Amino acid sequence: MNRERLTPDRIRGLAQPTGTGQFFTWDTDAPRLAVRVTAGAKSFIFESKLNRQTVRVTIGDTRAWTLAAARDEARRLQVLIDSGVDPRAAKREREAEAARLIAESAAGAAALVAEAEAAKREQEKRERYTLRTLCEAYCDLLQARGKPSARQARSILKVHVFEAHPEIAATPARDVTPLQVAAMVRQTREAGRERAAGVLRSYLSAAFTAGKKAPFDASLPAALIPFEIERNPVDAIPAIGVRAGNRTLSADELRAYLAELGDNLADQALLLALLAGGQRMAQLLRVKVADYDPDTATLRLWDGKGRRTSPREHVLPLAPRAAALVAGLVDRARAKDSALLFSTHGAVQLDETTPGKRAAAIAAGMHGEPFDLRDIRRTCETMLAGLGISRDTRAQLLSHGIGGVQATHYDRHGYIAEKRAALMAWEDRLQEIATGTARSNVVPMKQKSVS
């Protein structure tokens, strides 16, 4: 055994003797410390006895460890031996503990990353699936189903939710509270828009109901499922009943109204709605050239009101003046190469609000009690009843209240003859009103051209 006091210079000078695999030089200052010399390296080692077994531990390369640090490490290892602890086992435990801490640290970091990603996804979901986007998705559903109410729904929700309450519109739909819904409905109602408030509540309720049912109802679009609607906050808000209107025009008022109708497209729409017995303007404006059959003088409308999944065909056998008016509109549309009966330039349907505004302007010019299109429709039905037209025929003629099992599945009678007789009688009555003559002294009404 070669033993001498190790110094840095001596360590640098140590060389492996020829013919040996490794060579040890032991330190006199730290008897358990040695420098092991091999063909390619020099390293500090510690060697001692524990329970009569040799314990050897490599401390490290002499280029990485100073002599002083190696001696301190040898003394520390000897203390462990003296305490009955195998330094190799202690090292394995330290390495295992270090590995555990590293693993825990990595797991913690991964958990933090996962938590951050989950928070980001949640935030993106909250920003994406808001009340506004729920309402837009519901309006898209109405439009896809061909519901005429889609346009009104978009308008009501835009004005009374998106623009009036942008902070509520940006709230995640699943977090909207009854108090927030009440605030929107109340503001609309307090602004004097009671009917709009009722319609707003109805559309909001329908949107939340669709979102709530979407996961279970295959007829609803999957796009509604991510909103995660579990409750309808509108349920807590009392419904606002629609006040039944009672305004009807007198014969003199109707005569004045007829006299104001001119040749422009909106006025022609108003006249046709009147001649056809008080049809809904929204349905009438959607009529296409192909919906008119000149051989039978019948005009086909599509009624999409209510909970129908597809519009109901509504056929009107027109009386002579209404038929002549439609024939003129058909010629006008064909001249513009348009498929639409009511289109200013041929490509786009006449705006549904235009005839209503025109009727309101006529009413204002008459300087009497105001009236609107609903009042004119009510006037038509009231006068039809006065002509002895039965309730069932009026319902078929005006396409309202037609539902239930009987009408849906069993009653296939078209009521064409009944509706034609009613419209013939109605045109006669309008002729009397317009001319101020008795029925037995009818003077034909002048047919205005369509521009």
Give 116-148 pLDDT, tens digit per residue: 888 888 888 889 999 999 999 999 999 998 887
Please answer whether residues 384 and 276 qualify as being in contact, where contact means their C-beta atoms are separated by less than 8 angstroms: no
Across the chain, what does the average pLDDT equal? 89
Give pLDDT tens digits for 140-151: 999 998 887 898
DSSP string of 233-282?
Answer: GGGGSPP-PPPPP-----HHHHHHHHHH--SSHHHHHHHHHHHTTS--HH
Res 136: pLDDT: 97
Structure tokens at 54: 């040799």
* pLDDT above 60: residue 258: yes
Of 248, 327, 316, 308, nearest to 280 by C-alpha is 316
310-363: per-residue pLDDT in tens?
678 999 999 999 999 999 999 999 999 999 999 988 889 999 889 999 999 999
Query: What average pLDDT does this structure show over 402-423?
Result: 66
Classified by CATH at the fold level, domain 131-236 comes out as DNA polymerase; domain 1 (1.10.150)
Which has more pLDDT, 298 or 400? 298
**Two tokens, residue 36:** 């092991």
Contacts of 329 (CB under 8 A, 6+ apart): 268, 272, 341, 342, 450
C-beta separation of 132 from 170 below 8 A? yes
Residue 385 near residue 394, CB atoms below 8 Å: yes
Is 251-441 in the same CATH topology as 2-85?
no
Q: Are 366 and 253 in contact (CB under 8 A)?
A: yes
Tokens 């404006």 locate to: 285
pLDDT digits (tens, 9 = 90+) for 37-57: 998 899 999 999 999 999 999
What pLDDT is recorded for position 437?
A: 81
What is the predicted pLDDT for the residue at 405? 40
Locate the domains of the chain by residue range.
2-85, 131-236, 251-441
Give the mean model confidence (pLDDT) for residues 377-393. 95
Cα–Cα distance between 330 and 333 in angstroms, integer?
5
Residue 218 pLDDT exceeds 70: yes
The mean pLDDT value for 417-426 works out to 96
Q: Extract the tokens encoding 298.
A: 């019948």
SS3 292: strand
Q: Confidence class of residue 18 from pLDDT cuts 50, 70 and 90?
A: confident
Contacts of 47 (CB under 8 A, 6+ apart): 32, 34, 54, 55, 56, 57
Nearest to 73 by CA among 93, 40, 43, 109: 43
CATH architecture label of 2-85: 2-Layer Sandwich (3.30)
CB 360 within 8 A of CB 370: yes
CATH of 251-441, one of 1.20.1050.10, 1.10.443.10, 2.40.50.140, 3.40.1390.40: 1.10.443.10
Residue 85's pLDDT is 94
Q: At 61, which helix (H) or strand (E)? A: strand 53-61
| 449 vs 446: CA distance, rounded Å | 10
Percent of the chain with pLDDT over 90: 73
* Among the listed residues 180, 230, 238, 189, the one whose alpha carbon sits nearest the alpha carbon of residue 208: 230
